Amino acid sequence: MDRPQKILILLLVAGIPAAAPPFFAAPPSFCFTAGSVTYQMAPATASPDLRVRIDNAAIQPDLRIQVVDAVESADFALVDDVVDAGRSACRSDGLLKTVKVVDGGTADVTINLSREPAEADLKLFVHSARVGHRDAAALLAAMRHKVLDGKVALSR
């Protein structure tokens, strides 16, 4: 092989990773602002401000959330649009609280998440391209959590 061919191959090999999308990039943060507090889903953080456990077998969960399919019947609706995904809702002048869904261990709030209406405290509707029912329920539980006494506030 002559020199120009070697240079061309080297440029191609070096250029492919630079042009490829980042496979290991962190997913964009999902945040929701309620009042002066912004809640950020932080699944990778080691020490979140609030840990939410979803345990449908818990005898006395702090909050029972029913997932509904109609926004008209919901107490809380989370709907987003990915068109504006470049702007970060996590930028806030207020207080930022990180929220993490935990599978076991210590949790600040334990919730029951179901489609069944039996004894639901709140009804949740989610239509999102970026967040699922579990994370939306965790955000709702975090917003209802009273930091002072560790109880979940219900407005009924």
Tens digit of each residue's pLDDT (9 = 90 or more) over 107-117: 999 999 999 88
- Segment 84-106 shows an average pLDDT of 79
Nearest to 65 by CA among 106, 126, 108: 126
pLDDT higher at 155 or 144: 144
Residue where the block lists tokens 């004894």: 119
Residue predicted with more confidence, 127 or 117: 127
Contact between residue 131 and residue 82 where contact means Cβ atoms under 8 Å apart = no
Q: What is the pLDDT of residues 53-82, one digit of tens each?
A: 999 988 899 999 999 999 999 999 988 766
Q: What is the pLDDT of residues 86-96, one digit of tens each?
A: 556 677 778 88
- The whole-angstrom separation of Cα 115 and Cα 96 is 30
Q: At a CB cut-off of 8 Å and minimum separation 6, what does 35 contact? A: 94
Please answer whether residues 52 and 99 qualify as being in contact, where contact means their C-beta atoms are separated by less than 8 angstroms: yes
Please name the residues in contact with 38: beta carbons below 8 A apart, sequence gap of 6 or more. Answer: 31, 32, 89, 90, 92, 94, 95, 96, 97
Residues 66 and 114: their CA atoms lie apart, in Å, by 5
- Output the pLDDT for position 105: 82
Q: What is the pLDDT of residues 10-63, one digit of tens each?
A: 555 555 555 555 444 445 568 888 888 889 999 988 899 999 999 998 889 999
Task: Using the predicted structure, report yes or no on whether residue 147 has a pLDDT greater than 50.
Answer: no
Q: What is the pTM of this model?
A: 0.71
What is residue 71's predicted lDDT score, i.e. its pLDDT? 92
